[in-house]
Structures are given as structure tokens and as C-alpha cells.
Amino acid sequence: MRSLVGIGLLSAGVLMSAPAAAQPAAAENVEALRQELHQMRKQFETMREGYEKAIDRLGERIQQLESKPQPAVAAPSPASSPEVAPAPAPAPPAIAVSPLDLIRPRQPFGLYSTRGPGQLLFDMGIAGDFVANFTRRHVDKTDAGTFSGRENRFFPREVELSLFGQIDPYARGEVIIETGEEPSEPGELTIRLAEAHLTLLTLPFNAQLKMGQMRSRFGLLNQLHAHDRPFIDSPNVLTRFLGEEGLVERGAELSWVAPLPFFLEGLVGVFNGDNEDAFGHGKLTDPLVTGRLRTFFELGDSSAIQLGASVAHGSTPERRRPNTLLGFDAKYKYRPEGWPHPLLTVLGEVILQNRRIDVLGEDTDGDGVPDTPDERRTRKRWGWYLGGEVRPFRTGQLARWAAGFRYDWTELPVERGREWAAGPYVAFMPSEFLRFRLGYKHTGRDRFTDESSARRVDEILFQATFILGAHPAHPF
């Protein structure tokens, strides 16, 4: 390559200089011609050097590109001028997204065909969450503990395999398969699809559409899996009103972030309604409709608060009677300047229910015939919880420890009765990927609750959580 360029330039120089040599040899012109020839030779040398440098640079560039699949540990050249640092690879062509792009058919395996050997084009992670519960015999017998049917057991509550990543430039996908011990069959593990959804990221007007099976973003904790929650167990108000699994629904959620100087997110969801406790009709003709508004304020450099309001409206599982849940939530964090974690976190939720139910007539005289008529009634019930956690040490071994407390109070959604619970816990986190919690919980119930034979429940709870592989960062 170098010789070709050199020969070319030399030929050009010879050709250009030939007419000059053919001029009449007037003495006054000879010196001028010599000078001209000298000048041209200099120019030629300069050009040759320039081309050689360019060729060297291209050669280095080719070497860099060829060696790219094998990660190179190349030390920067010490004390060299910044200008000599190697040039980066040219940026990939920009992908402009237009509404037309979204409806145009695409080749789903286009990305697959261009991947490198051994590369997965998505992330995967495993989260394991084991809990243990120790309580008295009468609580065990009546299944009246926090993990009903699994009292005095150590069991996998949730072991999840998460697969997530970009589907293409326009959408992201996530699939979570989980297993855990069922309350009805202690010792038996069932494998189920916990979540599977895609999110369209490039919709107009700063909207996103998530569709599939998902944990509904109703309130603070429902959207989190058990291992991500700030407490060992779910607050009683959530398990009473939404069931032990919470609102895991099939449908779609449309979210929008307002173009305002502060954060304001609104979302609307439409689902089948597959919840066994609150919304169970399971038909899109009579769907569960949810909505949520969430805002956030920084209170100086160290503190911040998030406020949310949620609504869920659908039909009850038993007789398709309307049920509406309103939820209000708040979360506050105090994280002093330079701290790697919050010193104080306080959070709470309130749920208000307005539910229509059928009350069957009662047989008051014992003749087997109802003496009072069937009637429809409205159950206006509510409940709440408030919890907090302190992690008082900034760095060092003690920074791995945290302590927290939660108080629950709730009415039952349909039957008469109410319960309250309180419990402290301590947490030890050897690393970001491993956590142990040990807690005590005291539950008090009034005489009307189903579990009135266990009106006072004392439990020791233990939780061990680990994460293998990738796990997305947690939002505030």
C-alpha cells in the first residue's frame, strides 16, 4: 500500500516535472527550474510522510477493531499527551423512532443474528427468600399465624428467576418465574409465572404502556416482591384487603410523567380482575380498573418524601358486586450528606374500602328457613400501617446493621372484626446481595375475627434473602 502511494506520487511528480525539463536551456531559467524541482521534491516528501502517518493510523485502527471481541487490558500510555490517545470507535448509526416505525413489521431475530458468541442479550438474576416462623401450639393448630398454614416452619416463600432486558429499541421485557411453599400444602412447592410483561418505551406524549401479567402499582408495597419489601412479612392491611399474593393481574398499565418541574406520574391500569379476595370476576367485560398518582419532593439535600394516591375498582369474586379501594401512601427518607444509605426511612399506607356484599337471611328460630330477607349492604372498612427503619452507622462493620419497627391496624374487609399488630426487627446485611432479618410480632384480634381462638399471637420471624446475578436498582 505504501509503495503504491509512493510510486503514484513519484510518477505524478515526474510527469509534472518533465515539461519543465523540456524548456529551452536559458541560463537564467536553469536556476529557477532547479529551485522549482527542489520545492516539488520537498512537497512530495511532506505528502509521503502524511500518507504514511495516515496509513499507520488506519493500521492501528484495524488492529483495534480486530481485537475487540477479546477484552483487552491496555494500560494508558503514561504521561502521554491526551491527543495521542486512541480514537474511539465511530458511534453506531442513530435510530430515530417515529410512529411509523412502531407499526412497521420488524424481524424479531435480527439482533440475534448479529450477536457475538456466548453473549446473552438480556440479564438474568435469581432471588431467594426463605422465612421461618416460631409460634405457640394453639396458633399453629388454628393456622392463625402470619404465614397461615406454615406456622413453625422454615420454608422458601419466594425463589425467583428473573429474565429481563431490551426486546428491541422500542420495548423492554421481563419474565419472572417463581416457586414457593403453598399455605395449603406445607412442604409442596409449586412453580408459577409471577410476572411476564413488556413495556413500550417510545410512545408519544411521554407515555409508556406495560402489558402482560404484573404486580399492579397500587400503593407502595404491592408492586414489590416479598424479597424487596422493607419488612419480613406483609402489613396486615395489605394481606386482609388484597390477599397474601397481592394484586397480581393480567392486563395493561399506561403511565405518563407530567412535563412539570417536579415529579408527577399518573397511571391507569385495566386488568381481568383475578384476585381471589377483592376483585375476582376475571373478565375484561367487567374489568378491574386501577389508577395512581405519585409525586415526590426533595426536602433539602438530605431528605425527600414521596406521596401517592391509588384507586382500584372492580367486581368482587363471589357475586360480582362492586368494590372500590382507595389507597394513600407516603415514604420519607433521611440520608445525611455523604452517607451511602438512608439513616432513617419512614413509610406508611392507608387503605379505604367501599364494598357491596350480599348478606343472606338469618334463621333466627332454628327451623331451617331464613327469617330475615337477603339484603345488600355496603362494607366501608379501612386499615393502615406505619413503619420505620434506622441504619445509624455510616461506614464500617456496624453499617451493615439496621433496626426497624412496624405497627398495623386493620378492619376485616367483609366480616366483623379488627386486628392490630406491632413488631420490631433487626437486619444484618453482609453485602448488597445478602440479608438476614430477625423480628418479633405481636398480633391482637378482637372476638369477632375468624381466628378468635388465637386472639393473642406472638411470633418470632426470621428471613434470609439472597440475590444471584443481576438485579435492577430499587426505586426510592
Partner 1 sequence: MRTLLPALGAGLLALGLLAGGAEAAERIRVVATTTDLKALTEAVGGGLVEADALARGNQNAHDLEVRPSLMVKVRRADLLVINGLELDQWAEVVVRGANNPKVTPGAPGRVDASSGIPVLEVPRTRVDRSMGDVHPLGNPHYSGDPGMAPIITTNILEGLARVAPQHRADFERNRTEFLARLAQAMTRWSADLTPFKGAKVIVDHNMWLYFLTRFGLVQAGSIEERPGIPPTPGHLTRLIASMKEEKVRVILTVPWGDQKLAERVAQEAGAKAVVVASAVGAVKGTDSYLDTIDYNVKTVAQALK
Query: Which of residues 21 and 121 has its CB atom nearest to partner 1 in the complex?
Result: 121
User: Does residue 131 contact residue 199 with C-beta atoms inside 8 Å?
Assistant: no
Query: Which of residues 257 and 270 has its CB atom nearest to partner 1 in the complex?
Result: 257
User: Does residue 108 contact residue 420 with C-beta atoms inside 8 Å?
Assistant: no
> How far apart are CB 388 and partner 1 at their closest, in Å?
17
Rg value, the chain, Cα: 35
> How far apart are CB 200 and partner 1 at their closest, in Å?
9
Q: Which DSSP helix (H) or strand (E) runs through 139?
A: helix 137-141
Tell me the C-alpha distance between 170 and 256, whole Å. 16
> How far apart are CB 352 and partner 1 at their closest, in Å?
15
> How far apart are CB 396 and partner 1 at their closest, in Å?
6
Query: Which of residues 261 and 373 has its CB atom nearest to partner 1 in the complex?
Result: 261
Query: Which of residues 105 and 368 has its CB atom nearest to partner 1 in the complex?
Result: 105
Q: How far is CA 393 from CA 299, 302, 335, 339, in A?
A: 22, 16, 11, 9
Query: Which of residues 89 and 359 has its CB atom nearest to partner 1 in the complex?
Result: 89
Query: Which of residues 182 and 265 has its CB atom nearest to partner 1 in the complex?
Result: 265
Q: How many residues does the chain have?
A: 476
> How far apart are CB 328 and partner 1 at their closest, in Å?
16
Query: Which of residues 258 and 426 has its CB atom nearest to partner 1 in the complex?
Result: 258
User: Does residue 93 contact residue 434 with C-beta atoms inside 8 Å?
Assistant: no
Cα dihedral value 231, 232, 236, 238, nearest 10: 70
At residue 220's C-alpha, the angle toward residues 219 and 221, to 5°, is 105
Cell 426463605 belongs to which residue?
A: 130
Query: Which of residues 16 and 95 has its CB atom nearest to partner 1 in the complex?
Result: 95
- Give the bridge partners for 267, in sequence order: 255, 292
> How far apart are CB 201 and partner 1 at their closest, in Å?
4
Q: What are phi and psi of 239, to 5 degrees?
A: -70, -30
> How far apart are CB 123 and partner 1 at their closest, in Å?
10
> How far apart are CB 202 and partner 1 at their closest, in Å?
4
What is the per-residue DSSP string for 219-258? TTTTTS-GGGSSSSS--HHHHHHH-SS--EEEEEEEEEE-
Q: Which DSSP helix (H) or strand (E) runs through 20?
A: helix 2-21
